[in-house]
A and B are shown apart, each in its own frame.
Chain A
């Protein structure tokens, strides 16, 4: 609608003023032509960048770092100090949205950064696009990190990022409403249902089933229950990477797992509902309208502000089931392959950013569990909740970083909705498994 309106807007009357209007329009057109000419020649531009490099060396190099808002603020002083020490300039750029895609596009056009701050599950895609370099750390350096972080940034036997923070799901509990931590998910639902029947809460548990769009399931949040029911997404290769050839969706175990989930769904106990998203679960918990919430450390600040008395424990598994494994996301620093100052970027990443001071500063800015053991000790001493999330991460597995994961999200998200809604579980799981397998097959 809007677009048609704009396109059909009447043209300005051809009078004296139109001289200016025309001039401006011509200018616009010219810049557009210049721009399009430039992008048409984009293929050759990258080839020429290397030959042009010596000319640029005459002036001081600029180390460009891309990070989100919060990280930028914290990293700025460190980058400035590093720049001063090395006689270069440092530029910390805030990239607030769509960072991975922006990085891919910009790097390809030769306009990418030298250092990227991001999540470890980008690694697979960035490696297949040839956009990040391995980071050669000694065994001593690697031993300084918690196991799960080290595993997460290792892809195809190579370390591709310097991890700084670890985050995973846990169970938040309102200790006024539910003083005892539930040992199983069944127990949790029983407690919640009792509270609901007594009119103390509105919902049994704030368990995010839907993505923010409300229309597709949330694989990330469902994974603990899915694994507790005995399901898995991918098998494991000998080198520790997930094996896309061994798909766990559609197997009898995965059907059994979803049967369990369905028991608590809309046509079952009514604890899991499609109307729950991460945001409204948090709002319910903060208002005391539910006694339980499954979420990560990013909700700590909200919960503390709300003034609810809370405790954090691992997400409980089903009664008699496997342990509930939550996905562990690791935040890391990457060195861009197409950066103009790679040696400088490596120096900055492996020496400055890998330091305990940076990890501590990042923790102070936002309470996520540091990946560096020494910083973790600092954080645990400062904040008791860190140790609780650490305990919740014990059974966790790194979020698969392989690019094939893209094939999983869509069908699996839809499957979660079908199951929670109360549709027939068997066919739904098999259909999702088939859809994923087909998409993986397309890759060859």
Chain B
């Protein structure tokens, strides 16, 4: 492939024996078919993605799709560009699943997004006005018929109490004569108006909801397709003062908080999303409620991650060494048994363990005849979560160690034996360094995973037990479960704050992992 220096036009130029190496598609007919199919799929998916993007006018999305497809075709429509063929899918996946989420999280951290602040300001205003519409006490209950006149929507309203019929439009209400009433008191026909069928009316649902017929002291609005009521919006937005007024109060727009606030400090519940700059990131550092327990949680978090890695690695390695012994019998059966915890869904297993730790009804206490409050005291709860994670995690270490052991040449051992090394020395000086070479990067990534092992804690102890004088931080809380409770437990979901916290957790894990990987290189130098 390195010889292809000729420009792309040469393979369009047709057959030429001299360049056939570069132009001929290698492989069988099946190979060609597979390629055609794969390329077709790429194009097909591009078209499938394009249709909704075009119809919603999302040109940014469209441009991304077009560029991505273009690059894919550029790379795969030729037998050359081998590196690109491999780099492309990984790059795509990297952008889609790593770069984009990270950027999105960061942008989210700069806003106040959360319950009560999900939409735009205009959406909030609509919601405020809509939810303030109150039915006038004792007003007429109209029977509604939806009709049209010259294409414009008209409400034909019958007032059963007054036995009167009206036509209501955006301009107002006027009484009409010659309307015939059907069963239920609704107008079935009126001169000059075309009554819409249910299906026709349904199709104009949005217009029907929007139509308010102005009358003295309010407006008549529809409630569904067959009823209408007279009501008044208690609150109204005025663009001039950028405020909402009504009920003798004025709520002014506060662009920093993203909500309407009155003089007395009370706010309307419906807010909107605004940028808050670095205040979420700052809150994590300066807000005493958030950072007061940081140190304690961090120390336990670090201990938990290290302990889980050390315990799982030790047990996994020990099991692997035992089964690796040449005189061991029934290795296959043991291996299957050991891998079993790994093969079961962790989610369900964590819940099963949680129930096994129950003081009165749990399997552990009943089997051992104990009455230990496993998850109720800090020490036992910490022991329990470590135990559970050890059980879940060691098969993975066992698998990896088994594989690594088989790559260590027997001659090393024999040579050490000839030199008179004891079994412990052989393990310590030969097996372990070679094993760690393979295992060290996995230990670091296992550490990073366990540092954020949300399920392992949340499903078993939910971070508890909590000290009685402080219900915000529990004995087994990791940073991630602690921040989860802070961000989602208080005022509903606060996505902005959660994003800011996760950035910090990410930074911590990144720093520790980088240090870890540096150490890994140190192992390499030993060999």
Given A27-B45, A32-B93, A444-B265, CB of A418 within 8 Å of CB of B198:
no
Q: Do residues B445 and A4 form an inter-chain contact, with CB atoms below 8 A? A: yes
Question: Of residues 403 to 457 in B, which have CB atoms within 8 Å of A's CB atoms?
Answer: 442, 445-446, 448-450
Residues in chain A near residue B64, CB distance under 8 A: 33-34, 36-37
- B180 nearest CB across to chain A (Å): 21
- Complex Cα gap A432–B461 (Å): 19
- Complex Cα gap A421–B467 (Å): 11
Number of A-B contacts (CB under 8 A): 349
Which of B53, B222, B360 is in CB contact (< 8 Å) with A34? Answer: B53
User: Which of A157, A275, A337, A435 lies at the interface centre, i.e. has the most chain B CB atoms within 10 A of its CB?
Assistant: A275
Residues in chain B near residue A343, CB distance under 8 A: 201-202, 205-206, 208-209, 222, 224-225
Question: Of residues 272 to 307 in A, which have CB atoms within 8 Å of B's CB atoms?
Answer: 273-276, 280
- The 8 A CB mask of B111-152 against A (1 = contact, 0 = none) is 000011011100110111011011100000100000000000
**Is B77 part of the contact surface with A, judged by Cβ < 8 Å?**
no
- A405 nearest CB across to chain B (Å): 10
Question: Of residues 197 to 248 in B, which have CB atoms within 8 Å of A's CB atoms?
Answer: 197-206, 208-209, 221-227, 229, 231
Which of B90, B208, B223, B464 is in CB contact (< 8 Å) with A216? Answer: B464
Give the nearest-CB partner of A275 in chain B.
B360
Among the stretches A46-54, A71-79, A165-173, A311-319, the one at the interface with B is A46-54
Residues in chain B near residue A134, CB distance under 8 A: 130-131, 133
- The 8 A CB mask of A349-370 against B (1 = contact, 0 = none) is 1110000000000000000000
Residues in chain B near residue A53, CB distance under 8 A: 206
Among the stretches A121-129, A372-380, A388-396, the one at the interface with B is A121-129
- Complex Cα gap A418–B377 (Å): 11
- Complex Cα gap A435–B124 (Å): 30
- Complex Cα gap A17–B489 (Å): 49
Q: Do residues A128 and B271 form an inter-chain contact, with CB atoms below 8 A? A: yes
Given A4-B445, A24-B38, A30-B72, CB of A133 within 8 Å of CB of B130:
yes
Q: Do residues A342 and B42 form an inter-chain contact, with CB atoms below 8 A? A: no
- Complex Cα gap A224–B457 (Å): 31
Give the nearest-CB partner of A135 in chain B.
B223
- Complex Cα gap A280–B392 (Å): 26
- Complex Cα gap A6–B35 (Å): 27
Residues in chain A near residue B396, CB distance under 8 A: 1-2, 4-5
Q: Do residues A30 and B46 form an inter-chain contact, with CB atoms below 8 A? A: yes
Which of A41, A403, A423 is in CB contact (< 8 Å) with B115? Answer: A403
- The 8 A CB mask of B473-502 against A (1 = contact, 0 = none) is 000000000000100011111000000000
Which of A128, A157, A213, A438 is in CB contact (< 8 Å) with B462? Answer: A213
- Complex Cα gap A427–B470 (Å): 9
- B263 nearest CB across to chain A (Å): 14
- B453 nearest CB across to chain A (Å): 8
Residues in chain A near residue B88, CB distance under 8 A: 22, 26, 29
**Is B191 part of the contact surface with A, judged by Cβ < 8 Å?**
no
Residues in chain A near residue B200, CB distance under 8 A: 87
Given A158-B131, A443-B491, CB of A30 within 8 Å of CB of B449:
no
Q: Do residues A19 and B205 form an inter-chain contact, with CB atoms below 8 A? A: no
Residues in chain B near residue A431, CB distance under 8 A: 468-471
Q: Do residues A44 and B58 form an inter-chain contact, with CB atoms below 8 A? A: yes
Residues in chain A near residue B265, CB distance under 8 A: 444
- B182 nearest CB across to chain A (Å): 15
Residues in chain A near residue B450, CB distance under 8 A: 1
Given A48-B56, A342-B206, CB of A409 within 8 Å of CB of B93:
no
- Complex Cα gap A407–B491 (Å): 6
**Is A344 part of the contact surface with B, judged by Cβ < 8 Å?**
yes
- Complex Cα gap A340–B201 (Å): 13
- B153 nearest CB across to chain A (Å): 11
Residues in chain A near residue B57, CB distance under 8 A: 48
SS class, residues of chain A in contact with chain B: helix
Give the nearest-CB partner of A50 in chain B.
B206
- Complex Cα gap A128–B259 (Å): 11
Among the stretches B5-13, B95-103, B321-329, the one at the interface with A is B95-103
Q: Do residues B360 and A32 form an inter-chain contact, with CB atoms below 8 A? A: no
**Is A7 part of the contact surface with B, judged by Cβ < 8 Å?**
yes
Q: Do residues B198 and A87 form an inter-chain contact, with CB atoms below 8 A? A: yes
User: Which of A40, A133, A404 lies at the interface centre, i.e. has the most chain B CB atoms within 10 A of its CB?
Assistant: A40
Residues in chain A near residue B206, CB distance under 8 A: 50, 53-54, 57, 340-343
- B325 nearest CB across to chain A (Å): 25
Which of B126, B198, B459 is in CB contact (< 8 Å) with A86? Answer: B198
Interface size class of B (residues with CB under 8 A): 35 or more
Which of B38, B231, B289 is in CB contact (< 8 Å) with A23? Answer: B38
Q: Do residues A60 and B199 form an inter-chain contact, with CB atoms below 8 A? A: yes
Residues in chain A near residue B185, CB distance under 8 A: none
Residues in chain B near residue A46, CB distance under 8 A: 119-120, 123
Q: Do residues A23 and B42 form an inter-chain contact, with CB atoms below 8 A? A: yes
Q: Do residues B93 and A19 form an inter-chain contact, with CB atoms below 8 A? A: no
Residues in chain A near residue B104, CB distance under 8 A: 40
Which of B69, B96, B134, B222 is in CB contact (< 8 Å) with A36? Answer: B96
Give the nearest-CB partner of A406 in chain B.
B492
Q: Do residues B49 and A34 form an inter-chain contact, with CB atoms below 8 A? A: yes
User: Which of B95, B134, B360, B448 lies at the interface centre, i.e. has the most chain A CB atoms within 10 A of its CB?
Assistant: B360
Question: Of residues 393 to 435 in A, which have CB atoms within 8 Å of B's CB atoms?
Answer: 403-404, 406-407, 409-411, 414-415, 417-418, 421, 423-424, 427-428, 431-432, 435
Q: Do residues A41 and B56 form an inter-chain contact, with CB atoms below 8 A? A: yes
- Complex Cα gap A240–B442 (Å): 59
Give the nearest-CB partner of B34 in chain A.
A20
Among the stretches B168-176, B351-359, B519-527, the one at the interface with A is B351-359
- Complex Cα gap A37–B361 (Å): 51
Which of A29, A50, A341 is in CB contact (< 8 Å) with B93? Answer: A29
Q: Do residues A214 and B375 form an inter-chain contact, with CB atoms below 8 A? A: yes
Given A1-B449, A350-B223, CB of A34 within 8 Å of CB of B61:
yes
Q: Do residues B42 and A27 form an inter-chain contact, with CB atoms below 8 A? A: yes
Given A88-B202, A136-B135, A216-B462, CB of A351 within 8 Å of CB of B224:
yes
Q: Do residues B115 and A125 form an inter-chain contact, with CB atoms below 8 A? A: yes
- Complex Cα gap A425–B150 (Å): 74
- Complex Cα gap A331–B197 (Å): 33
Residues in chain B near residue A418, CB distance under 8 A: 466, 468, 471
Give the nearest-CB partner of B126 in chain A.
A130
Which of B31, B91, B223 is in CB contact (< 8 Å) with A19? Answer: B31
- B399 nearest CB across to chain A (Å): 8
Given A1-B392, A40-B60, A86-B225, CB of A410 within 8 Å of CB of B471:
yes
**Is A238 part of the contact surface with B, judged by Cβ < 8 Å?**
no
- A415 nearest CB across to chain B (Å): 6
**Is A228 part of the contact surface with B, judged by Cβ < 8 Å?**
no
Q: Do residues A158 and B134 form an inter-chain contact, with CB atoms below 8 A? A: yes
Q: Do residues B376 and A274 form an inter-chain contact, with CB atoms below 8 A? A: yes
Q: Do residues A61 and B202 form an inter-chain contact, with CB atoms below 8 A? A: yes
- B456 nearest CB across to chain A (Å): 9
- Complex Cα gap A438–B305 (Å): 31
Which of A30, A86, A216, A276 is in CB contact (< 8 Å) with B92? Answer: A30
**Is A198 part of the contact surface with B, judged by Cβ < 8 Å?**
no
Q: Do residues A427 and B469 form an inter-chain contact, with CB atoms below 8 A? A: yes
Q: Do residues A129 and B65 form an inter-chain contact, with CB atoms below 8 A? A: no
Residues in chain A near residue B222, CB distance under 8 A: 343, 346
Given A30-B92, A41-B61, A423-B468, CB of A19 within 8 Å of CB of B489:
no
Q: Do residues A37 and B53 form an inter-chain contact, with CB atoms below 8 A? A: yes
Residues in chain A near residue B130, CB distance under 8 A: 133-134, 337
- A222 nearest CB across to chain B (Å): 14
A-B contact pairs, 10 of them (CB 8 A): A29-B92, A34-B45, A34-B53, A37-B62, A129-B118, A130-B118, A131-B127, A215-B463, A275-B361, A337-B130
| Closest 5 A/B residue pairs (Cβ) | A23-B38, A87-B199, A29-B92, A130-B127, A37-B61
Known: A2-B342, A26-B72, A346-B223. 20 other contacts (CB 8 A): A19-B35, A23-B76, A26-B92, A30-B72, A31-B45, A37-B53, A37-B64, A38-B52, A40-B60, A61-B205, A88-B202, A138-B141, A215-B375, A275-B359, A340-B206, A343-B209, A347-B224, A407-B491, A410-B485, A438-B289
